[in-house]
Amino acid sequence: MAKGMREIKRQIKSTQNTKQITKAMEMVAAAKLRRAQLAAESARPYADKLKEVVGSIAAGTRGVKHPMLQSRVIKKTGYLVITSDRGLAGGYNANVLRKVAAEIKEKHSSPNEYAIFVIGRKGRDFFRKRNMPVVEEVTGLSDSPAFADIKSIAASAVRNFENGSYDELYLVYNEFKNAISQIPVIKRLLPLDDMSGSAVSNYEYEPSPEGVLEVLLPKYAETLIYSAVLDGKASEFGARMTAMNNATKNATKMISTYTLAYNRARQASITQEISEIVAGANAAQ
């Protein structure tokens, strides 16, 4: 009985230590979430204004031709997948990887029909284990990534579309809604075929509208990728905060269960000792 009680006490102590860790991780994730959410929200006005300018030029310039604005026959597809470097974030990585894997399985019959750019160690490891074609990868992003951190992979993904390595490019990431809701999405980034409805503004361009468009279109696409990365970071911390909160609650329930079992075992031990004392006293009479 004593051995069983010692084992229960060890379980209680171990679970209490785990609870302290998960609670601390929840608080850290909450603090990082606030910063990441602010960064994601701050990046949107710039992307929106850039879209307005690009759309205005595209709408106001007749006969403008640029590879990033033109749809073509789909022979090969590019995917830029955003995941995290670490786990302990609930279904954050699993949901987005499951979604892109299902999309690839449904649309493609051969690895020659698609190419993958991946941000995050979890995504890289996932695709490597399945021998899926990863063209470029970025890992080790900070909790507050700068545009320079993903500039290389973003520029490469856009450039490969421009030079015809593939005919469309999709962004795959977790879209941040709130701290407890992150939605895995697949959004077509290129070609930029949603510019036709933009209003024409009275801008003057140097050297020419076409020249400005040549510079701004890749910049706009790269900005959308960076905005998705920031959205992904906010989603990651929201998912981790929720996961750690659930783990803390589960640890609390387990401690309560173990404590109840310990008290019952202790009561049984006391009852047994009293019974033995009474039996001994009766035998002595």
Predicted confidence (pLDDT) per residue in 76-119, tens digit: 999 999 999 999 999 999 999 999 999 999 999 999 999 999 99
**The residue to which tokens 């979890």 are assigned:** 122
The boundaries of the domain holding residue 145 are 26-242
As a whole number of angstroms, the distance between CA 174 and CA 40 comes to 13
47-56, 174-183, 221-230, range with greatest mean pLDDT: 221-230
Q: Which of 241, 253, 190, 260 is nearest to 30 (CA)?
A: 241
Report whether 157 contacts 169 (CB < 8 A). yes
pTM: 0.86
138, part of any domain: yes
Which residues on neighbouring strands pair with residue 178, listed in sequence order? 181
280, part of any domain: no
For residue 140, give both structure tokens: 């080790």
Q: What are phi and psi of 203, to 5 degrees?
A: -100, 155
User: Comparing 281 with 36, which gets the higher pLDDT?
Assistant: 36
pLDDT value for 202: 63
21, part of any domain: no
260: pLDDT strictly greater than 80: yes
| 224-233, 242-251, 252-261, 262-271: segment of lowest average pLDDT | 262-271
262, part of any domain: no
- Dihedral angle, C-alpha 117, 229, 186, 115, nearest 10 °: 0
pLDDT value for 43: 86
For residue 83, give both structure tokens: 């995941």
283, part of any domain: no
275, part of any domain: no
266, part of any domain: no
184, part of any domain: yes
Helix ranges (DSSP H) in 75-193:
92-107, 121-129, 147-162
How many domains is the chain built from? 1
Using only C-alpha atoms, what is the Rg of the chain?
28
Which residues on neighbouring strands pair with residue 169, listed in sequence order? 78, 190
The pLDDT of 189-215, averaged and rounded, is 70
150: pLDDT strictly greater than 70: yes
- What residues contact residue 257 under an 8 Å CB cut-off, 6+ apart? none
Q: What is the CATH number of the domain that holds 138?
A: 3.40.1380.10
